Amino acid sequence: MSAPRSDDRGLRNPSAERLPGRRALYRGRRRGVAVAGLAAVAALALVLGFALASAGSHPHHRGPGAPRGAGRTPLARRRPSASRTRAALVAAELATNRRILSYTSYIAQGVPRVRAVALTFDDGPGPYTAPILATLERLHVKATFFEIGREVRTYPALTARLARAGMVIGDHTETHPPMARLSRADQAIELDEAAHAIEAAGAPQPLLFRPPYGSFDSTTLGLTRARAMVMVLWTVDTSDYARPGVGRIVYTAISGARPGAILLFHDGGGDRSQTVAALPRIVARLRQRGYRIVTVPELLREDPPPAGQPPPVSLSGD
């Protein structure tokens, strides 16, 4: 038989009255229980108070009177996803290209409306792409890289790094052939395979094209137009591929610079250590002369090719 239960009014079992010392024993126990209970209540109050204070101070806490979403980062301030950012960049570049393609198929120099020049690099990615990128980032310069598809497949991580750094990547064909010597089908393959490699490496869809050796024909222009690509030639060829010396590369770039100019360098195809060494001097002198350094898409927006410019002429003699 179980012992009778008690409440705060005392014992319900009369037999306890007849047992010597039982009442005194119970009172002692009752005092102990009361003290323990008070201690437990006090401890619980402290815990609850701390929890409520912590919850009220948490940046994501929303009290009963707070509006829905209070304490959370507003959607407008959240960083957009990489895919949304890339889609926005491609859409903006497409809009600019369509405007340019409405009256011409190429750019070799912008209308000199603003004092800006574009630095461009061909034939990469390769072993010298990383030091060139590091130099550009240190100098806070954005540039445009025209990449060969087979090189992208060899160094996909470099293409991804360029894209993450905000550099623009254009199509320089899959295998670097003189395009004017190829059939229409082969030219299309050269364009599309390189574009696929660039996108597979993590860069946006390329919407700029630079012909290897400056070789192209009407077929090339028809293919690029169908792909909403603007062909990008150049104003100044620094001939850095010939390794003429750092001083000569600097002199050629600076002496040929003018508003709207496109300067041609190389980050692939051989030893480009002279190009790496020349870049800081070139950037410093351009800035001293009041030039702003931009990407080709920026040049197309701010300093587009002039209306009425003559049809492009292949630079390779094809």
Residues designated as active site: 122, 266
**Cα gap 300→140, rounded to integer Å:** 20
**Cα gap 29→206, rounded to integer Å:** 85
Q: Are 170 and 210 in contact (CB under 8 A)?
A: yes
The dihedral over CA atoms of 301, 94, 172, 133, expressed in degrees to the nearest 10, equals 60
Per DSSP, the residues of 198-249 read HHHTTPPPP-EE--GGG---HHHHHHHHHTTPEEE--SEE--GGG---HHHH
The two structure tokens encoding residue 250 = 């600097």
Cis peptide before 125 (omega within 30 of 0): yes
**Cα gap 290→117, rounded to integer Å:** 10
Q: Give the H or E element holding residue 294.
A: strand 292-294
Q: Return the DSSP state at 95.
A: H
Q: Are 179 and 173 in contact (CB under 8 A)?
A: yes
Q: Are 122 and 172 in contact (CB under 8 A)?
A: yes
Residues 6 or more apart whose Cβ sits within 8 Å of residue 186: none
Q: What are phi and psi of 209, to 5 degrees?
A: -135, 135
